[in-house]
Amino acid sequence: MKCSVLPFYPLGFFCGIDSSKFKPREGVIGWNNLNYYLAGKAEHGELKDLPPEDDIFWLEESSTIIKRDNTTLTAEEHHLAHPPYIRMQADTGRFREKGLLIHIDGLNNQKDFNTDAITSLFQYLHTARLGGECRVCLTERLPVVNLPVQEMTELISNTGKFRVILTSPAYFPNKGYYPDFLESAEGALPAGEWEIGDQKRKVRLVSMATGKRLLRIGGWDLARGVPKKMIKAVPAGTVMFFELPDFNKEHDRKWIKELVESSFPGTLPGGDDKYCKQGFNTMLIGGWDYVP
């Protein structure tokens, strides 16, 4: 299928040269510039170059895994793997504060959780175990930083256009590159009903910007002691551009407000629930009005 390249501004993976060309670009974006980007002010945002290798966020370590016979404890044939292990670099250089940010939501609605006990765990700096190898890490409670909800709601309400920025890889079992709730008729762009709470609204996927092919992601199931199946996921940093067919500013404003409020970050529908609970399909919502 032939299509023209529009002057979109994807996040992190591309840098526009002019209205018809793009070149691959890796980089990082700060919080203030991310807010500019989400609010549709791409011309004010700034993409920082990745730091040199000795000042990078993480290191990749090689490893080897074998399977032992339960009786003889010898290595079994055809059970050898070399998965890479990723660990964060020591706090040196420009990026001294590194870590994983975990957002815990809805604790007050969970009857099985002791909210007071969980909250007390994060009152002070604690040590914890992270990952399958139980690496030692520090846990700390941080203040919630708000995104420009009102500004984004107003922008989308004026244009009927919004974008989804993937902050983690996204797994769509049936469609591959885009959410399963979208259907594509011959000669038409993918469209479907996006449900938020008890509200549904038809949306249309206009375009996508992504820097890589689908990622192959596997892993180890700690609970069952078996390898996880290999899946193909859309890489983090991908941006999906949507529009609302038959847009009506007054009628759609409530749905748009709930859409924006559901993405701090939120979960993009149209994926596998089991993988979403593992952190796949997380997203932020932003506005766009680059193309009339």
Taking the C-alpha atoms of residue 131 and residue 100, their distance in angstroms, rounded to an integer, is 12
Domain count, the chain: 2
Supply the range of the domain harboring residue 192. 146-287
End-to-end alpha carbon distance in the chain: 23
Q: Are residues 78 and 151 in the same domain?
A: no
Q: Are residues 173 and 283 in the same domain?
A: yes
Q: What is the pLDDT of residue 195?
A: 93
Q: Are residues 251 and 170 in the same domain?
A: yes
DSSP assignment string, 114-179: -HHHHHHHTSS-EEEEETTTTEEEEE---PPPPP-HHHHHHHHHHHSEEEEEESS-B--TTTSSS-
Digit-by-digit pLDDT tens for the chain (292 residues) are 333 333 333 343 333 334 344 444 456 677 777 887 888 775 555 556 555 555 566 777 787 878 888 888 888 888 877 777 777 776 655 666 677 777 666 665 556 566 676 677 777 778 888 776 677 888 887 776 667 788 888 889 999 999 999 999 999 999 988 999 999 877 789 999 999 988 899 999 998 888 768 888 887 777 787 888 899 999 988 999 999 999 999 999 999 999 998 887 889 999 999 999 888 999 999 888 765 5
Domain end, chosen from 94, 109, 139, is at 139
Q: What is the pLDDT of residue 255?
A: 94
- CATH code of the domain covering residue 258: 2.60.40.4350
3-state secondary structure of 108: helix
Taking the C-alpha atoms of residue 153 and residue 287, their distance in angstroms, rounded to an integer, is 8
Domain end, chosen from 97, 123, 139, is at 139
Taking the C-alpha atoms of residue 64 and residue 86, their distance in angstroms, rounded to an integer, is 14
- All residues at 6 or more sequence positions from 273 whose CB lies less than 8 Å from its CB, including other chains: none
* pTM, 2 dp: 0.74
Q: Are residues 215 and 251 in the same domain?
A: yes
Backbone angles phi, psi at 276, to 5 degrees: -60, -40
Domain end, chosen from 115, 139, 163, is at 139
**Residue 19, in any domain of the structure:** no
Q: What is the pLDDT of residue 26?
A: 57
Q: Are residues 176 and 283 in the same domain?
A: yes
Beta partners for residue 14, in sequence order: 24
**What letter would DSSP give residue 12?**
S
Backbone angles phi, psi at 130, to 5 degrees: -125, 130
**Residue 212, in any domain of the structure:** yes
CA-to-CA dists, residue 277 to 233, 254, 267, angstroms: 15, 27, 9
Which position has the token pair 């700690």? 222
Q: Are residues 176 and 256 in the same domain?
A: yes
User: For the chain, what is the largest distance between any 2 Cα atoms, rounded to a whole number of angstroms?
Assistant: 72
Contact 272, 171 (CB under 8 A): yes
Q: Are residues 196 and 280 in the same domain?
A: yes
**Residue 124, in any domain of the structure:** yes
Query: Which amino acid is present at 250?
Result: E
Composition of the chain by helix, strand, coil, percent to 5:
20, 30, 50
